[in-house]
Structure 1
Amino acid sequence: MKSTGKRGKKRYGGGQGKRWRGSRELEVGMQGVLITCNMNERKCTSEAFNLLSEYADVLYGPEKVSKRNGLREDSEEEEEEDEDVEAALKREVEQLKGAQVKQQRRFQALESGANNVIFIKTHNLESDKLVHHILSDLHTTKKKKSRVILRMLPVTGTCKAFQEDMLKFLSTFLEPWFKTPNAASYQIVFKARNSSHNKREDIIKAIAGLVGKLNPKNKVDLTSPELTIIVEVIKAVCCVSVVRDYTLFRKYNVQEVVKEDTTLQATMLTKTNKKCKPVSMFVF
Protein backbone atom coordinates (compact mmCIF):
# COMPACT_ATOMS: atom_id res chain seq x y z
CA MET A 1 0.00 0.00 0.00
CA LYS A 2 1.36 3.37 -1.00
CA SER A 3 1.98 6.06 1.56
CA THR A 4 -0.44 8.97 1.69
CA GLY A 5 2.57 11.24 1.28
CA LYS A 6 3.16 10.03 -2.23
CA ARG A 7 1.78 11.86 -5.21
CA GLY A 8 -0.60 9.83 -7.36
CA LYS A 9 -0.54 9.68 -11.13
CA LYS A 10 -1.83 12.74 -12.92
CA ARG A 11 -2.48 13.44 -16.58
CA TYR A 12 -1.59 16.72 -18.24
CA GLY A 13 -2.81 16.26 -21.77
CA GLY A 14 -5.99 17.49 -23.41
CA GLY A 15 -6.37 20.63 -21.32
CA GLN A 16 -6.86 18.72 -18.05
CA GLY A 17 -5.60 19.86 -14.71
CA LYS A 18 -5.95 23.19 -12.95
CA ARG A 19 -5.62 26.49 -14.80
CA TRP A 20 -2.85 28.70 -13.49
CA ARG A 21 -4.37 31.94 -12.33
CA GLY A 22 -3.70 34.82 -14.72
CA SER A 23 -2.15 32.61 -17.38
CA ARG A 24 -5.23 32.85 -19.62
CA GLU A 25 -6.23 36.46 -19.15
CA LEU A 26 -5.44 39.73 -20.89
CA GLU A 27 -2.72 41.53 -18.94
CA VAL A 28 -0.64 44.70 -19.15
CA GLY A 29 2.40 44.23 -21.38
CA MET A 30 0.74 41.99 -23.97
CA GLN A 31 0.29 42.56 -27.70
CA GLY A 32 -2.24 40.93 -29.97
CA VAL A 33 -5.64 41.37 -31.60
CA LEU A 34 -8.96 42.27 -30.01
CA ILE A 35 -11.83 40.61 -31.83
CA THR A 36 -15.50 41.34 -31.33
CA CYS A 37 -18.21 38.86 -32.24
CA ASN A 38 -21.94 38.28 -32.14
CA MET A 39 -22.89 35.93 -29.30
CA ASN A 40 -20.65 33.02 -30.28
CA GLU A 41 -17.20 33.34 -28.74
CA ARG A 42 -16.20 29.72 -29.36
CA LYS A 43 -16.93 29.97 -33.09
CA CYS A 44 -15.30 33.40 -33.19
CA THR A 45 -12.09 32.03 -31.67
CA SER A 46 -11.97 29.24 -34.24
CA GLU A 47 -12.52 31.66 -37.13
CA ALA A 48 -9.94 34.06 -35.73
CA PHE A 49 -7.24 31.39 -35.54
CA ASN A 50 -7.97 30.30 -39.11
CA LEU A 51 -8.01 33.83 -40.52
CA LEU A 52 -4.94 35.07 -38.66
CA SER A 53 -2.95 31.92 -39.43
CA GLU A 54 -3.82 32.04 -43.12
CA TYR A 55 -2.41 35.53 -43.58
CA ALA A 56 0.43 35.15 -41.08
CA ASP A 57 1.73 32.20 -43.11
CA VAL A 58 1.86 34.50 -46.14
CA LEU A 59 3.62 37.35 -44.33
CA TYR A 60 5.92 35.40 -42.01
CA GLY A 61 6.00 31.85 -43.37
CA PRO A 62 4.46 28.72 -41.79
CA GLU A 63 4.78 28.45 -38.03
CA LYS A 64 7.31 25.93 -36.75
CA VAL A 65 5.88 23.93 -33.88
CA SER A 66 7.93 21.65 -31.66
CA LYS A 67 6.82 18.01 -31.61
CA ARG A 68 7.14 17.89 -27.82
CA ASN A 69 4.48 19.76 -25.91
CA GLY A 70 6.84 20.91 -23.21
CA LEU A 71 5.05 18.93 -20.51
CA ARG A 72 5.78 15.58 -18.95
CA GLU A 73 4.63 12.45 -20.63
CA ASP A 74 2.96 9.53 -18.87
CA SER A 75 6.13 7.40 -18.65
CA GLU A 76 7.94 10.21 -16.89
CA GLU A 77 5.07 10.70 -14.46
CA GLU A 78 5.03 7.02 -13.51
CA GLU A 79 8.70 7.13 -12.60
CA GLU A 80 8.02 10.04 -10.26
CA GLU A 81 5.31 8.34 -8.23
CA ASP A 82 7.87 7.37 -5.62
CA GLU A 83 9.11 10.93 -5.16
CA ASP A 84 8.01 12.83 -2.12
CA VAL A 85 5.36 15.55 -2.52
CA GLU A 86 7.71 18.51 -2.17
CA ALA A 87 10.16 17.29 -4.83
CA ALA A 88 7.33 16.36 -7.17
CA LEU A 89 5.67 19.77 -6.91
CA LYS A 90 8.99 21.53 -7.40
CA ARG A 91 9.66 19.59 -10.56
CA GLU A 92 6.10 20.22 -11.71
CA VAL A 93 6.55 23.98 -11.45
CA GLU A 94 9.86 23.81 -13.32
CA GLN A 95 8.24 21.77 -16.09
CA LEU A 96 5.37 24.23 -16.44
CA LYS A 97 7.75 27.18 -16.57
CA GLY A 98 9.78 25.41 -19.21
CA ALA A 99 6.64 24.72 -21.21
CA GLN A 100 5.69 28.38 -21.18
CA VAL A 101 9.12 29.33 -22.53
CA LYS A 102 9.27 26.61 -25.17
CA GLN A 103 5.70 26.90 -26.34
CA GLN A 104 5.55 30.55 -27.38
CA ARG A 105 3.00 29.95 -30.09
CA ARG A 106 2.29 32.55 -32.75
CA PHE A 107 -1.32 32.93 -31.52
CA GLN A 108 -2.89 32.22 -28.14
CA ALA A 109 -6.53 32.84 -27.19
CA LEU A 110 -7.00 34.56 -23.82
CA GLU A 111 -9.93 35.80 -21.78
CA SER A 112 -10.47 39.48 -22.59
CA GLY A 113 -12.62 40.34 -19.59
CA ALA A 114 -15.68 41.36 -21.63
CA ASN A 115 -18.55 39.50 -23.24
CA ASN A 116 -18.42 38.98 -27.01
CA VAL A 117 -14.80 40.06 -27.09
CA ILE A 118 -11.82 37.73 -27.37
CA PHE A 119 -8.14 38.55 -27.22
CA ILE A 120 -5.61 36.71 -29.37
CA LYS A 121 -2.13 37.17 -27.96
CA THR A 122 0.55 37.36 -30.67
CA HIS A 123 4.21 36.42 -30.58
CA ASN A 124 7.01 37.50 -32.94
CA LEU A 125 4.83 39.44 -35.36
CA GLU A 126 3.39 42.92 -35.85
CA SER A 127 -0.33 42.70 -35.17
CA ASP A 128 -1.10 46.06 -36.82
CA LYS A 129 0.67 45.03 -40.02
CA LEU A 130 -1.08 41.64 -40.04
CA VAL A 131 -4.59 43.01 -39.45
CA HIS A 132 -4.10 45.75 -42.06
CA HIS A 133 -2.98 43.11 -44.56
CA ILE A 134 -6.08 41.00 -43.86
CA LEU A 135 -8.49 43.91 -44.25
CA SER A 136 -6.71 45.18 -47.35
CA ASP A 137 -7.12 41.80 -49.02
CA LEU A 138 -10.77 41.48 -47.97
CA HIS A 139 -11.47 45.00 -49.21
CA THR A 140 -9.90 44.21 -52.58
CA THR A 141 -11.28 40.72 -53.17
CA LYS A 142 -14.66 41.23 -51.46
CA LYS A 143 -14.41 37.59 -50.42
CA LYS A 144 -16.19 36.82 -47.14
CA LYS A 145 -14.06 34.62 -44.89
CA SER A 146 -15.87 34.73 -41.56
CA ARG A 147 -19.40 34.50 -40.24
CA VAL A 148 -19.30 35.62 -36.61
CA ILE A 149 -16.23 37.88 -36.40
CA LEU A 150 -17.21 41.55 -36.46
CA ARG A 151 -14.17 43.73 -35.87
CA MET A 152 -10.45 42.97 -35.67
CA LEU A 153 -8.46 45.60 -33.80
CA PRO A 154 -4.69 45.27 -33.45
CA VAL A 155 -3.22 45.87 -30.00
CA THR A 156 0.38 47.03 -30.16
CA GLY A 157 0.57 48.36 -26.64
CA THR A 158 -1.11 47.89 -23.25
CA CYS A 159 -1.00 49.74 -19.95
CA LYS A 160 -3.04 50.20 -16.78
CA ALA A 161 -6.45 51.71 -17.45
CA PHE A 162 -6.07 54.81 -15.28
CA GLN A 163 -5.82 58.19 -16.95
CA GLU A 164 -2.45 59.01 -15.41
CA ASP A 165 -0.96 55.70 -16.54
CA MET A 166 -2.54 55.96 -19.99
CA LEU A 167 -1.18 59.43 -20.69
CA LYS A 168 2.27 58.51 -19.42
CA PHE A 169 2.34 55.46 -21.68
CA LEU A 170 0.92 57.23 -24.73
CA SER A 171 3.32 60.17 -24.48
CA THR A 172 6.07 57.78 -25.60
CA PHE A 173 3.98 55.26 -27.54
CA LEU A 174 2.65 57.88 -30.00
CA GLU A 175 6.02 59.40 -30.89
CA PRO A 176 6.81 57.25 -33.99
CA TRP A 177 3.62 58.45 -35.69
CA PHE A 178 3.17 62.01 -34.48
CA LYS A 179 6.58 63.36 -33.46
CA THR A 180 7.73 63.74 -37.05
CA PRO A 181 8.57 66.70 -39.33
CA ASN A 182 5.49 65.97 -41.44
CA ALA A 183 2.16 66.69 -39.81
CA ALA A 184 -0.53 64.01 -39.76
CA SER A 185 -4.30 64.14 -39.70
CA TYR A 186 -5.85 61.88 -37.09
CA GLN A 187 -8.87 60.87 -35.08
CA ILE A 188 -9.21 59.19 -31.68
CA VAL A 189 -11.56 56.25 -31.12
CA PHE A 190 -12.23 55.38 -27.47
CA LYS A 191 -14.36 52.64 -25.94
CA ALA A 192 -14.53 51.29 -22.40
CA ARG A 193 -15.93 47.90 -21.37
CA ASN A 194 -16.57 46.91 -17.75
CA SER A 195 -14.85 50.12 -16.68
CA SER A 196 -16.52 53.32 -15.52
CA HIS A 197 -13.71 55.40 -14.03
CA ASN A 198 -12.65 56.99 -17.36
CA LYS A 199 -14.83 59.56 -19.11
CA ARG A 200 -14.68 59.38 -22.89
CA GLU A 201 -14.53 63.14 -23.45
CA ASP A 202 -11.77 63.63 -20.89
CA ILE A 203 -9.60 60.86 -22.33
CA ILE A 204 -9.98 62.02 -25.93
CA LYS A 205 -9.22 65.62 -25.00
CA ALA A 206 -6.13 64.59 -23.03
CA ILE A 207 -4.79 62.37 -25.85
CA ALA A 208 -5.39 65.14 -28.39
CA GLY A 209 -3.32 67.40 -26.16
CA LEU A 210 -0.45 64.89 -26.25
CA VAL A 211 -0.58 64.66 -30.04
CA GLY A 212 -0.54 68.45 -30.29
CA LYS A 213 2.57 68.65 -28.10
CA LEU A 214 4.38 66.10 -30.25
CA ASN A 215 3.80 68.27 -33.32
CA PRO A 216 1.53 71.36 -33.25
CA LYS A 217 0.81 70.86 -36.97
CA ASN A 218 -1.02 67.57 -36.37
CA LYS A 219 -4.69 68.12 -37.13
CA VAL A 220 -7.89 66.34 -36.16
CA ASP A 221 -9.86 64.92 -39.10
CA LEU A 222 -13.03 62.97 -38.34
CA THR A 223 -13.87 62.28 -42.00
CA SER A 224 -10.82 60.75 -43.65
CA PRO A 225 -7.82 60.83 -41.28
CA GLU A 226 -4.45 59.42 -42.19
CA LEU A 227 -4.12 57.81 -38.75
CA THR A 228 -6.57 56.58 -36.14
CA ILE A 229 -5.62 56.18 -32.50
CA ILE A 230 -7.62 53.26 -31.09
CA VAL A 231 -8.03 53.11 -27.31
CA GLU A 232 -9.94 50.11 -25.92
CA VAL A 233 -10.30 49.82 -22.16
CA ILE A 234 -11.37 46.47 -20.68
CA LYS A 235 -11.57 46.39 -16.91
CA ALA A 236 -8.12 47.44 -15.67
CA VAL A 237 -6.26 47.09 -18.99
CA CYS A 238 -5.95 49.74 -21.69
CA CYS A 239 -5.25 48.44 -25.22
CA VAL A 240 -3.92 50.90 -27.79
CA SER A 241 -2.82 51.00 -31.41
CA VAL A 242 -2.39 53.44 -34.29
CA VAL A 243 -3.82 52.27 -37.60
CA ARG A 244 -4.23 53.46 -41.18
CA ASP A 245 -7.28 53.25 -43.44
CA TYR A 246 -9.70 53.00 -40.53
CA THR A 247 -12.47 54.70 -42.47
CA LEU A 248 -11.72 52.93 -45.75
CA PHE A 249 -11.84 49.54 -44.02
CA ARG A 250 -15.18 50.30 -42.37
CA LYS A 251 -13.80 50.72 -38.84
CA TYR A 252 -11.90 47.45 -39.25
CA ASN A 253 -15.12 45.49 -39.57
CA VAL A 254 -14.51 42.30 -41.56
CA GLN A 255 -18.22 41.93 -42.38
CA GLU A 256 -18.63 45.44 -43.75
CA VAL A 257 -15.32 45.69 -45.60
CA VAL A 258 -16.31 42.95 -48.08
CA LYS A 259 -19.50 44.76 -49.08
CA GLU A 260 -19.61 46.89 -52.19
CA ASP A 261 -19.27 50.61 -51.61
CA THR A 262 -22.83 51.73 -52.32
CA THR A 263 -21.89 55.38 -51.73
CA LEU A 264 -19.28 55.22 -54.46
CA GLN A 265 -21.69 53.43 -56.78
CA ALA A 266 -24.35 56.08 -56.19
CA THR A 267 -21.84 58.85 -56.93
CA MET A 268 -20.76 57.18 -60.17
CA LEU A 269 -24.40 56.63 -61.16
CA THR A 270 -25.20 60.29 -60.54
CA LYS A 271 -22.27 61.41 -62.68
CA THR A 272 -23.34 59.04 -65.45
CA ASN A 273 -26.91 60.32 -65.40
CA LYS A 274 -25.73 63.92 -65.65
CA LYS A 275 -23.79 63.08 -68.81
CA CYS A 276 -26.86 61.51 -70.48
CA LYS A 277 -29.25 63.94 -72.19
CA PRO A 278 -32.97 63.28 -71.82
CA VAL A 279 -34.66 61.74 -74.86
CA SER A 280 -38.21 62.68 -75.80
CA MET A 281 -40.48 59.79 -76.68
CA PHE A 282 -43.36 60.28 -79.05
CA VAL A 283 -46.05 57.73 -79.73
CA PHE A 284 -47.89 57.90 -83.04
Structure 2
Amino acid sequence: MSSEVQKGKKRGKGQYLGNAKRHRGGRQLEVGMQGILITCNMNERKCIGEAYSLLTEYGDLLYGAEKLCDKEDNLSGSEEEEDDDDVEAALKKEVAQIRTSTEKNLCRFQSIESGANNVVFFRTLNVEPEKLVHHILKDLYTTKKRKTRVILRMLPVTGTCKAFPEDLKKYADTFFQPWFKVPNKGTYQIVYKARNNNHMNREEVIKDLAGIVGSLNPENKVDLTSPEYTVVVEIIKNVCCLSVVKDYTLFRKYNLQEVVKSAKEEKPQEPAADDGKEQNKEDPPVGPDA
Protein backbone atom coordinates (compact mmCIF):
# COMPACT_ATOMS: atom_id res chain seq x y z
CA MET A 1 0.00 0.00 0.00
CA SER A 2 2.81 2.37 0.90
CA SER A 3 4.54 1.61 -2.40
CA GLU A 4 1.33 2.49 -4.29
CA VAL A 5 1.05 5.79 -2.41
CA GLN A 6 4.68 6.55 -3.06
CA LYS A 7 4.22 5.73 -6.73
CA GLY A 8 1.23 8.08 -6.87
CA LYS A 9 3.25 10.88 -5.29
CA LYS A 10 6.08 10.43 -7.77
CA ARG A 11 3.65 10.42 -10.64
CA GLY A 12 2.01 13.61 -9.39
CA LYS A 13 5.35 15.35 -9.09
CA GLY A 14 6.33 14.21 -12.55
CA GLN A 15 3.10 15.59 -13.97
CA TYR A 16 3.74 18.94 -12.30
CA LEU A 17 7.29 19.14 -13.56
CA GLY A 18 6.16 18.02 -16.99
CA ASN A 19 3.70 20.90 -17.15
CA ALA A 20 6.43 23.32 -16.10
CA LYS A 21 8.78 22.00 -18.77
CA ARG A 22 6.09 22.29 -21.43
CA HIS A 23 5.50 25.88 -20.35
CA ARG A 24 9.21 26.70 -20.62
CA GLY A 25 9.26 25.00 -23.97
CA GLY A 26 7.44 27.97 -25.49
CA ARG A 27 3.71 27.39 -25.36
CA GLN A 28 2.82 30.52 -27.27
CA LEU A 29 0.05 32.89 -28.13
CA GLU A 30 -2.04 31.39 -30.91
CA VAL A 31 -5.00 32.28 -33.06
CA GLY A 32 -8.29 31.50 -31.34
CA MET A 33 -7.19 32.45 -27.83
CA GLN A 34 -8.75 34.95 -25.46
CA GLY A 35 -6.86 36.50 -22.62
CA ILE A 36 -4.95 39.46 -21.27
CA LEU A 37 -1.84 41.04 -22.75
CA ILE A 38 0.45 42.50 -20.11
CA THR A 39 3.51 44.66 -20.69
CA CYS A 40 6.21 45.02 -18.08
CA ASN A 41 9.41 46.83 -17.24
CA MET A 42 12.15 44.30 -18.09
CA ASN A 43 11.25 41.78 -15.36
CA GLU A 44 8.95 39.17 -16.92
CA ARG A 45 9.28 36.67 -14.08
CA LYS A 46 8.12 39.19 -11.49
CA CYS A 47 5.45 40.43 -13.89
CA ILE A 48 3.97 36.93 -14.11
CA GLY A 49 3.88 36.67 -10.32
CA GLU A 50 2.21 40.06 -9.93
CA ALA A 51 -0.28 39.27 -12.67
CA TYR A 52 -1.29 35.92 -11.16
CA SER A 53 -1.88 37.61 -7.82
CA LEU A 54 -3.87 40.49 -9.27
CA LEU A 55 -5.94 38.40 -11.67
CA THR A 56 -6.74 35.85 -8.99
CA GLU A 57 -7.79 38.54 -6.53
CA TYR A 58 -10.22 40.23 -8.90
CA GLY A 59 -11.21 37.03 -10.66
CA ASP A 60 -12.40 35.62 -7.34
CA LEU A 61 -14.36 38.81 -6.67
CA LEU A 62 -16.15 38.70 -10.02
CA TYR A 63 -16.55 34.97 -10.55
CA GLY A 64 -16.17 33.42 -7.12
CA ALA A 65 -13.25 31.44 -5.75
CA GLU A 66 -11.84 29.03 -8.27
CA LYS A 67 -12.15 25.36 -7.36
CA LEU A 68 -8.94 23.59 -8.24
CA CYS A 69 -8.99 19.89 -8.98
CA ASP A 70 -6.49 17.41 -7.63
CA LYS A 71 -4.96 15.67 -10.62
CA GLU A 72 -5.38 12.33 -8.90
CA ASP A 73 -8.91 12.80 -7.55
CA ASN A 74 -10.38 10.98 -10.54
CA LEU A 75 -8.14 7.94 -10.14
CA SER A 76 -10.03 5.73 -7.70
CA GLY A 77 -8.45 2.59 -6.31
CA SER A 78 -11.08 0.28 -7.79
CA GLU A 79 -10.69 1.74 -11.25
CA GLU A 80 -6.93 1.36 -11.14
CA GLU A 81 -7.25 -2.30 -10.10
CA GLU A 82 -9.61 -3.02 -12.98
CA ASP A 83 -7.13 -1.59 -15.46
CA ASP A 84 -4.03 -3.29 -14.07
CA ASP A 85 -4.52 -6.23 -16.43
CA ASP A 86 -4.58 -3.97 -19.44
CA VAL A 87 -1.58 -1.66 -19.38
CA GLU A 88 -2.42 0.04 -22.65
CA ALA A 89 -6.00 0.83 -21.63
CA ALA A 90 -4.83 2.08 -18.24
CA LEU A 91 -2.27 4.37 -19.85
CA LYS A 92 -4.81 5.83 -22.27
CA LYS A 93 -7.26 6.37 -19.45
CA GLU A 94 -4.70 8.12 -17.27
CA VAL A 95 -3.59 10.39 -20.11
CA ALA A 96 -7.21 11.39 -20.72
CA GLN A 97 -7.75 12.06 -17.02
CA ILE A 98 -4.60 14.16 -16.80
CA ARG A 99 -5.71 16.23 -19.76
CA THR A 100 -9.16 16.77 -18.28
CA SER A 101 -7.90 17.66 -14.80
CA THR A 102 -5.18 19.92 -16.21
CA GLU A 103 -7.78 21.86 -18.19
CA LYS A 104 -9.85 22.23 -15.03
CA ASN A 105 -6.85 23.39 -13.00
CA LEU A 106 -6.08 26.01 -15.64
CA CYS A 107 -9.68 27.00 -16.20
CA ARG A 108 -9.08 30.66 -15.45
CA PHE A 109 -5.56 31.95 -16.04
CA GLN A 110 -2.56 30.41 -17.75
CA SER A 111 0.66 32.28 -18.46
CA ILE A 112 2.11 31.54 -21.89
CA GLU A 113 4.79 32.98 -24.15
CA SER A 114 3.61 36.06 -26.04
CA GLY A 115 6.32 36.04 -28.69
CA ALA A 116 7.70 39.47 -27.71
CA ASN A 117 10.09 40.75 -25.06
CA ASN A 118 8.61 42.42 -21.99
CA VAL A 119 5.14 41.20 -22.95
CA VAL A 120 3.30 38.42 -21.13
CA PHE A 121 0.08 36.81 -22.27
CA PHE A 122 -2.41 35.22 -19.88
CA ARG A 123 -4.82 32.89 -21.56
CA THR A 124 -8.25 32.99 -19.89
CA LEU A 125 -11.06 30.48 -19.77
CA ASN A 126 -14.59 31.13 -18.51
CA VAL A 127 -13.68 34.79 -18.06
CA GLU A 128 -14.67 37.95 -19.94
CA PRO A 129 -11.26 39.62 -20.35
CA GLU A 130 -12.58 43.12 -21.08
CA LYS A 131 -14.93 43.02 -18.07
CA LEU A 132 -12.22 41.79 -15.70
CA VAL A 133 -9.58 44.29 -16.83
CA HIS A 134 -12.02 47.20 -16.73
CA HIS A 135 -13.03 46.20 -13.20
CA ILE A 136 -9.38 46.12 -12.09
CA LEU A 137 -8.59 49.53 -13.59
CA LYS A 138 -11.79 51.07 -12.25
CA ASP A 139 -10.89 49.94 -8.73
CA LEU A 140 -7.30 51.18 -9.01
CA TYR A 141 -8.49 54.50 -10.46
CA THR A 142 -10.97 54.95 -7.61
CA THR A 143 -8.80 53.84 -4.68
CA LYS A 144 -5.44 55.07 -6.03
CA LYS A 145 -3.94 52.01 -4.37
CA ARG A 146 -0.83 50.72 -6.11
CA LYS A 147 -0.85 46.93 -6.28
CA THR A 148 1.92 46.23 -8.79
CA ARG A 149 5.47 47.38 -9.39
CA VAL A 150 6.63 45.99 -12.73
CA ILE A 151 3.36 45.64 -14.66
CA LEU A 152 2.79 48.56 -17.00
CA ARG A 153 -0.25 48.04 -19.22
CA MET A 154 -2.94 45.40 -18.99
CA LEU A 155 -4.98 44.98 -22.18
CA PRO A 156 -7.85 42.53 -22.64
CA VAL A 157 -7.73 40.35 -25.75
CA THR A 158 -11.27 39.42 -26.70
CA GLY A 159 -10.38 37.89 -30.04
CA THR A 160 -7.39 36.79 -32.11
CA CYS A 161 -6.84 36.10 -35.78
CA LYS A 162 -3.98 35.70 -38.24
CA ALA A 163 -2.04 38.91 -38.75
CA PHE A 164 -2.63 39.22 -42.48
CA PRO A 165 -4.81 41.93 -44.07
CA GLU A 166 -7.49 39.66 -45.55
CA ASP A 167 -7.73 37.53 -42.39
CA LEU A 168 -8.07 40.62 -40.22
CA LYS A 169 -10.77 42.21 -42.39
CA LYS A 170 -12.80 39.02 -42.49
CA TYR A 171 -12.51 38.50 -38.74
CA ALA A 172 -13.19 42.13 -37.78
CA ASP A 173 -16.41 42.24 -39.81
CA THR A 174 -17.96 39.79 -37.34
CA PHE A 175 -15.94 40.76 -34.27
CA PHE A 176 -17.08 44.42 -34.26
CA GLN A 177 -20.80 43.70 -34.53
CA PRO A 178 -21.68 43.69 -30.78
CA TRP A 179 -20.45 47.28 -30.46
CA PHE A 180 -20.95 48.89 -33.84
CA LYS A 181 -23.61 47.10 -35.89
CA VAL A 182 -27.08 48.64 -36.17
CA PRO A 183 -28.81 49.31 -33.81
CA ASN A 184 -25.56 49.61 -31.81
CA LYS A 185 -23.38 52.63 -32.39
CA GLY A 186 -20.77 54.77 -30.68
CA THR A 187 -17.84 57.13 -30.98
CA TYR A 188 -14.49 55.42 -31.31
CA GLN A 189 -10.77 55.64 -31.88
CA ILE A 190 -8.28 53.01 -33.06
CA VAL A 191 -4.90 52.37 -31.42
CA TYR A 192 -2.34 50.15 -33.12
CA LYS A 193 0.88 48.47 -32.03
CA ALA A 194 2.94 45.82 -33.85
CA ARG A 195 5.81 43.78 -32.47
CA ASN A 196 8.06 41.41 -34.41
CA ASN A 197 5.95 41.89 -37.50
CA ASN A 198 6.88 43.68 -40.71
CA HIS A 199 4.16 42.64 -43.14
CA MET A 200 1.25 44.63 -41.71
CA ASN A 201 0.97 48.29 -42.64
CA ARG A 202 -0.34 50.52 -39.87
CA GLU A 203 -2.15 53.01 -42.11
CA GLU A 204 -3.80 50.27 -44.15
CA VAL A 205 -4.95 48.39 -41.06
CA ILE A 206 -6.46 51.55 -39.55
CA LYS A 207 -8.20 52.39 -42.82
CA ASP A 208 -9.59 48.86 -43.24
CA LEU A 209 -10.91 48.65 -39.67
CA ALA A 210 -12.44 52.13 -39.75
CA GLY A 211 -14.14 51.22 -43.00
CA ILE A 212 -15.66 48.13 -41.42
CA VAL A 213 -16.91 50.09 -38.39
CA GLY A 214 -18.49 52.65 -40.72
CA SER A 215 -20.14 49.98 -42.85
CA LEU A 216 -21.76 48.38 -39.79
CA ASN A 217 -23.48 51.66 -38.90
CA PRO A 218 -22.84 55.04 -40.60
CA GLU A 219 -23.63 56.73 -37.28
CA ASN A 220 -20.40 55.43 -35.75
CA LYS A 221 -18.13 58.47 -35.51
CA VAL A 222 -14.45 58.99 -34.79
CA ASP A 223 -13.61 60.84 -31.56
CA LEU A 224 -9.95 61.16 -30.60
CA THR A 225 -10.64 63.16 -27.43
CA SER A 226 -13.18 61.23 -25.43
CA PRO A 227 -14.49 58.24 -27.38
CA GLU A 228 -16.98 55.77 -25.98
CA TYR A 229 -14.92 52.89 -27.36
CA THR A 230 -11.28 52.32 -28.20
CA VAL A 231 -10.42 49.60 -30.68
CA VAL A 232 -7.12 48.13 -29.53
CA VAL A 233 -5.04 46.34 -32.16
CA GLU A 234 -1.98 44.51 -30.84
CA ILE A 235 0.01 42.46 -33.34
CA ILE A 236 2.72 40.05 -32.25
CA LYS A 237 4.44 38.06 -34.97
CA ASN A 238 1.64 36.45 -36.99
CA VAL A 239 -1.14 36.88 -34.43
CA CYS A 240 -3.43 39.89 -34.26
CA CYS A 241 -5.07 40.57 -30.89
CA LEU A 242 -8.26 42.65 -30.86
CA SER A 243 -10.40 44.24 -28.19
CA VAL A 244 -12.91 47.04 -27.82
CA VAL A 245 -12.56 48.79 -24.47
CA LYS A 246 -14.13 51.65 -22.54
CA ASP A 247 -12.45 54.47 -20.58
CA TYR A 248 -9.15 54.06 -22.43
CA THR A 249 -8.23 57.71 -21.99
CA LEU A 250 -9.60 57.99 -18.46
CA PHE A 251 -7.62 54.94 -17.37
CA ARG A 252 -4.40 56.30 -18.86
CA LYS A 253 -4.28 53.88 -21.80
CA TYR A 254 -4.85 51.00 -19.37
CA ASN A 255 -1.57 51.67 -17.60
CA LEU A 256 -1.64 50.39 -14.04
CA GLN A 257 1.19 52.66 -12.90
CA GLU A 258 -0.36 55.82 -14.28
CA VAL A 259 -3.95 55.18 -13.29
CA VAL A 260 -3.16 55.25 -9.55
CA LYS A 261 -1.44 58.63 -9.70
CA SER A 262 -3.31 61.54 -8.21
CA ALA A 263 -3.80 64.48 -10.56
CA LYS A 264 -5.41 67.50 -8.95
CA GLU A 265 -5.67 69.25 -12.27
CA GLU A 266 -7.66 66.36 -13.69
CA LYS A 267 -11.37 67.00 -14.15
CA PRO A 268 -13.43 64.39 -12.29
CA GLN A 269 -14.83 61.77 -14.64
CA GLU A 270 -17.14 58.85 -14.10
CA PRO A 271 -15.87 55.49 -15.38
CA ALA A 272 -18.19 53.48 -17.57
CA ALA A 273 -20.08 50.57 -16.07
CA ASP A 274 -18.11 47.33 -15.89
CA ASP A 275 -18.66 45.36 -19.09
CA GLY A 276 -16.40 45.46 -21.01
CA LYS A 277 3.13 54.05 -18.76
CA GLU A 278 3.72 52.37 -21.91
CA GLN A 279 2.73 55.08 -24.36
CA ASN A 280 3.51 54.51 -28.00
CA LYS A 281 4.25 58.03 -29.20
CA GLU A 282 4.87 56.83 -32.74
CA ASP A 283 1.44 55.22 -32.99
CA PRO A 284 -1.13 57.68 -31.59
CA PRO A 285 -4.87 56.97 -31.60
CA VAL A 286 -6.29 57.61 -35.02
CA GLY A 287 -9.45 57.59 -37.07
CA PRO A 288 -10.03 56.67 -40.70
CA ASP A 289 -8.81 60.03 -42.01
CA ALA A 290 -5.43 60.01 -40.26
Work out whether the TM-score is over 0.5. yes
Residue 228 of structure 1 is matched in structure 2 by 230
- Match for residue 107 of structure 1 among 106, 109, 115: 109
Paired with 1:184 and 1:173, the residues of 2 have a C-alpha distance of 15
Q: Give the direction of change, closer, same or farther, for the CA distance of 1:21–1:67 in structure 2 (3 Å limit).
A: closer
Higher mean alpha-carbon deviation, 173-182 vs 61-70, is at: 61-70
Paired with 2:74 and 2:44, the residues of 1 have a C-alpha distance of 28
- After superposition, the CA RMSD in angstroms is 2.9
Aligned length, in residue pairs: 253
Letter in 1 for 2:152: L
Give structure 2 stretches of 5+ with no counterpart: 1-9, 268-290
Paired with 1:20 and 1:111, the residues of 2 have a C-alpha distance of 8
| 1:144-194, Cα deviation, whole Å (9 max, x unpaired) | 110000000001111111111111011011011011335311000111111
- Match for residue 34 of structure 1 among 15, 21, 37: 37
Residue 165 of structure 1 is matched in structure 2 by 167
Residue 218 of structure 1 is matched in structure 2 by 220
SS at match of 1:115: coil
Greater radius of gyration (CA): 1
Contact 1:70 1:103 (C-alpha < 8 Å) held by counterparts: no
Higher mean alpha-carbon deviation, 231-240 vs 14-23, is at: 14-23
SS at match of 2:257: coil
- Match for residue 185 of structure 1 among 175, 187, 193: 187
- Match for residue 251 of structure 1 among 247, 250, 253: 253
Paired with 2:45 and 2:185, the residues of 1 have a C-alpha distance of 43
Using structure 1 for the length normalisation, give the TM-score.
0.79
Residue 122 of structure 1 is matched in structure 2 by 124
Higher mean alpha-carbon deviation, 142-151 vs 91-100, is at: 91-100
1:56 positional shift: 1.2
Contact 2:71 2:101 (C-alpha < 8 Å) held by counterparts: no
SS at match of 1:248: coil
- Match for residue 54 of structure 1 among 41, 57, 79: 57
Paired with 2:235 and 2:163, the residues of 1 have a C-alpha distance of 6
Contact 1:186 1:225 (C-alpha < 8 Å) held by counterparts: yes
Paired with 1:104 and 1:147, the residues of 2 have a C-alpha distance of 25
Using structure 2 for the length normalisation, give the TM-score.
0.78
Paired with 2:116 and 2:26, the residues of 1 have a C-alpha distance of 17
Contact 1:70 1:102 (C-alpha < 8 Å) held by counterparts: no
Give structure 1 stretches of 5+ with no counterpart: 1-8, 266-284
Q: Which runs of 4+ in 1 moved over 4 A?
A: 20-23, 69-73, 80-84, 86-93
